[in-house]
Amino acid sequence: MSKAMAGDTISLAAGLVDSATLPAEEIAAVMPDFFRERGRLALQYGTNEGLESLRRKVLSRIEKADGVPGGLDLGRVLLSTGSQQMLYILTEIMVDPGDIVITAAPSYFVYLGTLETAGAEIVGIPADENGMRVDLLAAAIERIVRAGKGASLKMIYVTTYYDNPTGASLSLDRRKALLETVESFDGIRPLVIEDAAYRDLGFAGKDVPSLWSFDERRDRVAYLGTFSKPFSPGLRTGYAVLPEELVEKVKIFKCGHDFGSASFSQQLIDFAIDRGIYDRNVAILRKTYAAKCRLMCGCLERELAGLAGWREPEGGLYVWLDFGDVDTGLDGAFFSECAREGVLYVPGEFCYPDRKNAPKGRMRLSFGPTSAADIEKGVARLSAALSARSSWGGR
């Protein structure tokens, strides 16, 4: 394979959504109605909590998906600028420097960065094809308690659907076991953040009830979701269902940040749900990403069978690869060789709380924003870079 021309680099790194799937035509078509019905409301200040009708939809959709009875106080549901802002605010409230947060290892690297900036000590629990190894959680908490740091354990962060980066979902058994484990420790009450950003993007298998749904008193788990991945990142609208004791605190911080995210975005999403645009778009996305995922995994089978390991995900945007003893790190020869071939990936090391001791051979590939042709070319380039391995010394 020839070396990539300048400007021809294919990114399998970006966790974006496919521009071709953005519902521009459908939204454009309803704009006259939208402006007639809501134009002035959308252009005026909204509220700190976010648009009430959209918060009601968020809550009823989660309750319906989880098969739990309705009736939770709508005050528990808040909107934010993407789910990132809610992650940031929860971290601001919960974590002082030196406090402990448990995450999976690997985990969502942007949030690991947020935790590091907040001065958190991050304790990573290994993850496998069923998500965080919850069987190792009790021992980890025990170690924290024995070290006299039980009171410093402030949060457990877990992605429950089609994880970024691994693509794995936390199994039903582990959802229950996670909460049972947390509740088995007297006197410590870490907040469990359930990041369900990719829940709507399942394209194989079945949706399962959220971790939040097993928190029967609704006082331990904050459920976070977003309209960015399943609809439009440019509208930057995320949401959370919070334990009651956090609601007022989050509202005070949210008010300090911006006293409310863009009202226009919230009105537009609410209107798109009313008109069925949202659900139609999600259905299209699922098909699109299912096809791209199948394509990427087919290419991997063709190009890298026996040379790398991966598991075909049932949703989301990512395939997690294991190249064994090949160093996939940013400073390694493989990354450079890939750059020369013209393909980018996210080195797995960024996704581990303890980066220095991260396994060497992992990488995250995204099939989200990349065209079918570029997925094929990108994987072929990965393979070519790997073939060149002998020339750079086998590591």
Kindly list the residues in this chain that would bind a copy of itself in the complex (CB under 8 A): 16-17, 19, 22-25, 27-28, 31-32, 35-36, 39-46, 80-82, 84-85, 88, 110, 113-114, 117, 228, 232-237, 252, 256-265, 267-268
- C-alpha to C-alpha distances, 6 to 339, 366, 384, 385, nearest whole angstrom: 10, 22, 17, 17
Q: Closest approach of Cβ 193 to a copy of itself, in Å?
A: 16
Q: Closest approach of Cβ 248 to a copy of itself, in Å?
A: 13
Q: Closest approach of Cβ 95 to a copy of itself, in Å?
A: 12
Residue 176 or 251 with smaller CB distance to a copy of itself: 251
Q: Closest approach of Cβ 238 to a copy of itself, in Å?
A: 9
Q: Closest approach of Cβ 40 to a copy of itself, in Å?
A: 5
Residues 238 and 54 sit within 8 Å (Cβ to Cβ): no
State the Cα–Cα distance between residues 8 and 125, nearest whole angstrom: 38
- C-alpha to C-alpha distances, 78 to 12, 46, 57, 190, 244, nearest whole angstrom: 33, 13, 12, 21, 12
Residue 17 or 224 with smaller CB distance to a copy of itself: 17
Residue 65 or 262 with smaller CB distance to a copy of itself: 262
Q: Closest approach of Cβ 234 to a copy of itself, in Å?
A: 4
Q: Closest approach of Cβ 262 to a copy of itself, in Å?
A: 4
- DSSP at 6: T
Nearest alpha-carbon partner for 235 in 109, 113, 54, 35: 54
Residue 277 or 384 with smaller CB distance to a copy of itself: 277
Q: Which residue has the tokens 């690869």?
A: 321
Strands (E), the chain: 10-11, 77-81, 100-105, 121-128, 131-132, 153-159, 191-195, 221-226, 237-241, 309-310, 318-322, 343-344, 346-347, 362-366
Nearest alpha-carbon partner for 243 in 359, 128, 78, 125: 78
Q: Closest approach of Cβ 154 to a copy of itself, in Å?
A: 17
- DSSP at 196: -
Structure tokens at 93: 């409230």
Residue 17 or 59 with smaller CB distance to a copy of itself: 17
State the Cα–Cα distance between residues 146 and 242, nearest whole angstrom: 30
Residue 52 or 327 with smaller CB distance to a copy of itself: 52
Residue 30 or 145 with smaller CB distance to a copy of itself: 30
Residues 128 and 107 sit within 8 Å (Cβ to Cβ): no
Q: Closest approach of Cβ 251 to a copy of itself, in Å?
A: 13
State the Cα–Cα distance between residues 166 and 351, nearest whole angstrom: 10
- C-alpha to C-alpha distances, 30 to 26, 54, 165, 230, nearest whole angstrom: 7, 18, 36, 19
Residue 188 or 262 with smaller CB distance to a copy of itself: 262
State the Cα–Cα distance between residues 87 and 239, nearest whole angstrom: 10
State the Cα–Cα distance between residues 184 and 103, nearest whole angstrom: 19
Residue 50 or 190 with smaller CB distance to a copy of itself: 50
Q: Closest approach of Cβ 197 to a copy of itself, in Å?
A: 13
Residues 241 and 76 sit within 8 Å (Cβ to Cβ): yes
Residue 115 or 363 with smaller CB distance to a copy of itself: 115
Instruction: Give the 3-state secondary structure of residue 108.
Output: coil
Residues 165 and 109 sit within 8 Å (Cβ to Cβ): yes
